Structure 1
Amino acid sequence: MKTIKAGLFISLDGVVEAPDQWHFPYFNDEMGAAVDATLGAADVLLLGRRTYDSFAGAWPDREAAGGDDAPFARKLGDTRKIVVSRQRLQFTWRNSEQLRGDLVEAVTALKKEPGDGTIGMSGSVSVVRQLLDAGLLDELHLLVHPIAVRRGMRLFDEGLPPIPLTLISSQVFQTGVLNLVYGPAGPGGNATYEDAKAHLPSTPEQ
């Protein structure tokens, strides 16, 4: 079965909107390697329409320009890209197609396609939320930037049931960015303060 890995740039206060306006000062070789782990190593890219439009509006031109980022752009162009949208789409970027039918059913079927490769995601917050709710996301890669953006859409909606996660790995970049990888976890349990206080440090008697 294929593994779905979603990568997101996120601020310290949880903002994931418009990272191009705040994350570039923190982009270094370490972050480049982390991005490559979710996108460059993927056999399939699953993208929301807005993220796809952003990619399609930039990466083909970068590939054609032949600059330092042309090899990565070529890799993205060669990868199968599946776009989630309720509107009927027309594509100019090669190897692009539209997801058909219900999102959860279609992604479930996609994961069961032959092979054990990786389905990579970048941005596409609404899709990530739906896959988390459905229990279909295997790894959530969060590049937590040491900046409070203080405005914009956050990763998780308010007022919905909690989503327990387990930390798979963590890494601190030289820029102060945290590279955190989470996976699904079981229920968080029903512990109370009475259970927690046993772990508080005790004060020696005078």
Structure 2
Amino acid sequence: MGRIRVHEFMSLDGVVETPSWTAAYPWTEPMMAAVGSITAGCSDILLGRTTYEMFAPAWSTRTAEEDPGAPFFNGSPKHVVTSRPDGLGWGPSTAVEYSADAVQRIKDEAAGDLYVSGSVQLVRALLADRLVDELHLLTYPLALGEGLRLFADGARVELSLQRATPFENGVAHLVYGPA
């Protein structure tokens, strides 16, 4: 049985929307290793439709020489939570209608862990259904004041901090598991 490993870029005030603001914080070798460790052991990718549509053009043309993550993103089976099965032409992709049972079946049948990135609505549902095994937050040292936040107003999500790793550029990798 695989685990669900969620990865998000987040500001101090919880904004995860369109993380172009992360560009002001150059990637470091330890950050690249941290993100690589999230995908290590993952055999499948679970995405919401919007994130899938953003990832497909960004990753589908990348090679391993350009980005060591390209083989994982391009070759892994992708389970796309959507009500529209059309237009899923990036690598091996399958449409899935969301239910806790459907996601649990994917977890149970995966050869390894499932990687989730972005996909805020999906991640909120996974957290509410207690299906997230690891929540990896690369937290940036700025507050944006507005934008889509990972945790919606009124949502109570209890987690347990598993580890925290600060990077020299002020970004922190926080890893949470179920409480």
TM-score by length of 2: 0.92
Residue in 2 aligned with 1:23?
22
Residue in 1 aligned with 2:168?
174
CA contact (8 A) 1:16 1:152 kept: yes
Could you list the per-position Cα deviations for residues 145-190 of structure 1 after superposition, in whole angstroms to 9, with x for gaps in the alignment? Answer: 0011222101111123x221100111001111110000111xxxxx
**Correspondence 1:90 to 2:87:** yes
Residue in 2 aligned with 1:153?
148
Residue in 1 aligned with 2:109?
113
Q: Structure 1 residues 156 and 137, CA, compared in 2 at 3 Å: closer, same or farther?
A: same
Q: Trace 1:67-106 onto structure 2 (pairs within 5 A).
A: 67-69=65-67, 71-99=68-96, 101-106=97-102
Question: Deviation at 1:46?
Answer: 0.2
Out of 10-19 and 25-34, give the one that drifted further: 25-34
Residue in 2 aligned with 1:165?
159
Residue in 2 aligned with 1:184?
178
2:73 partner amino acid: L
Could you list the per-position Cα deviations for residues 45-90 of structure 1 after superposition, in whole angstroms to 9, with x for gaps in the alignment? Answer: 0001111111101111223xx7532x42122111111111122322
The whole-number CA distance in structure 1 between the counterparts of 2:24 and 2:99 is 35
Residue in 2 aligned with 1:55?
55
Residues paired across the two proteins, number: 178
Q: Which has the higher strand share?
A: 2
CA contact (8 A) 2:159 2:177 kept: yes
The whole-number CA distance in structure 2 between the counterparts of 1:81 and 1:156 is 25
Q: Give runs of ≥4 in structure 1 deviating > 6 Å.
A: none
Could you list the per-position Cα deviations for residues 12-58 of structure 1 after superposition, in whole angstroms to 9, with x for gaps in the alignment? Answer: 11100010x20023222222222222235410000011111111011
Give the unaligned 5+ runs of structure 2. none
TM-score by length of 1: 0.81
Question: Deviation at 1:6?
Answer: 0.1
